[in-house]
Amino acid sequence: MSQFDVGKVAILMGGTSAEREVSLMSGQGVLQALRSIGVDAYAFDPAERGLAELRRDGFARCFIALHGRYGEDGTVQGALELLGMPYTGSGVMASSIAMDKVMTKRLWHAQGLPTPAHVLLPGDALPAGQLAAVCQQLGLPLIVKPPHEGSSIGVSKVAQAEQLAPAVQLAARYDAEVLCEAFIEGEEVTCPVLGSGAQSRTLPVVRIQAPQGAYDYQNKYFTDVVQYHCPSGLPAAEEDEISRIVLAAYRALGCRGWGRADLMIRASDRQPFLLEMNTSPGMTTHSLVPMSARAAGIDYPALCLAVLEQATLDYARAPVAAGTLP
């Protein structure tokens, strides 16, 4: 398929999640890249327009550059399935599971894949004794995060027991439940995947060095203080093992099209641990999938086109006629 065979393309960006600002940056990057190679692409913000307008306006497929809720969690994927509108990235079930860090962990545990120990807490007030038990079970430091957010939103590192309650309160602002996770001391890495099923393959691992380990929302997108290494500089055997684990994790979730796994390598024994799978990765100037792809000889427009060409549906069928709904 050439870039001229993909039809009129909607770049879904913005949306209503806490990651709206990042999504707009990702979407604009994808939009300009696809236009630069001749794709008939247009911005489409679901926060401002109903998805039914995709059919009315003659779009043939969607590039999902939405992040977080209502964009990466299976909801917009389900709506596009009903419209018969092919879209990029994982389908309804894989998107929904991957967005839920707790369900992802349960599935990975069942598959024997390494992921940090965790405790799930309700987001409302907890007795001090229960919080103390979490510290005892997971040890300190530990990580507290909302299970359904991304981009490090609502995430805290708890080094002392008295910091746990406010960390839980912060995470509870974004989610009904709170995930407490054992902290893995070591190096942070990420590994993108392109393709589906047996044809899926990893791209080069990116090693991340953030000041004092603060790879937070601000440093991810709005500063240049984080150092990224790609090639990673890791021993070949370690990178091969990361690739193996990431592919197994991606396939276990049923992901397709593209994705990016985040991991920690434990310093004590160099064991990689899966943290999460991103099914609609960032595509900003600071994003890691374009960086990894570049190291593999794939420039940004070619990456966007490769993802777009894999747009599909969970349930292949004739598209809905323009101006109608199923």
**202 burial class (0-12, 13-18, 19+ CB within 10 angstroms)?**
buried
Q: Tell me how long the chain is.
A: 326
Count CB atoms within 10 A of the CB of residue 315.
10
Known active-site residue 96: no
Known active-site residue 187: no
- 326, 310, 320, 316: which is closest to 62 by C-alpha? 310
Known active-site residue 174: no
Known active-site residue 260: yes
- What is the residue whose two structure tokens read 């999938």? 289
Peptide bond into 86 cis (omega under 30): no
- 312, 313, 310, 287: which is closest to 300 by C-alpha? 287
CA dihedral in degrees (256, 62, 262, 223; nearest 10)?
Answer: 160
Quickly list H helices, 162-216: 164-172
Instruction: Please tell me which residue in 262, 280, 287, 300 is annotated as part of the active site.
Output: 262
Instruction: Please tell me which residue in 243, 257, 282, 292 is annotated as part of the active site.
Output: 282
Quickly list H helices, 163-299: 164-172, 217-221, 236-253, 288-295
By the 8 A CB rule, do 101 and 153 touch?
A: no
Known active-site residue 151: yes
Q: How many Å apart are CA 196 and CA 188, to the nearest integer? A: 25
**Neighbouring residues of 162: CB distance < 8 A, sequence distance ≥ 6:** none
Instruction: Please tell me which residue in 221, 243, 287, 292 is annotated as part of the active site.
Output: 221
Instruction: Please tell me which residue in 26, 95, 151, 287 is annotated as part of the active site.
Output: 151
Known active-site residue 219: no
By the 8 A CB rule, do 290 and 125 touch?
A: no
Instruction: Please tell me which residue in 14, 19, 45, 188 is annotated as part of the active site.
Output: 19
By the 8 A CB rule, do 121 and 144 touch?
A: no
Known active-site residue 69: no
Instruction: Please tell me which residue in 174, 200, 276, 280 is annotated as part of the active site.
Output: 276
Q: How many Å apart are CA 166 and CA 325, to the nearest integer? A: 46
Known active-site residue 5: no
Q: Which residues are catalytic?
A: 19, 151, 221, 260, 262, 276, 278, 282
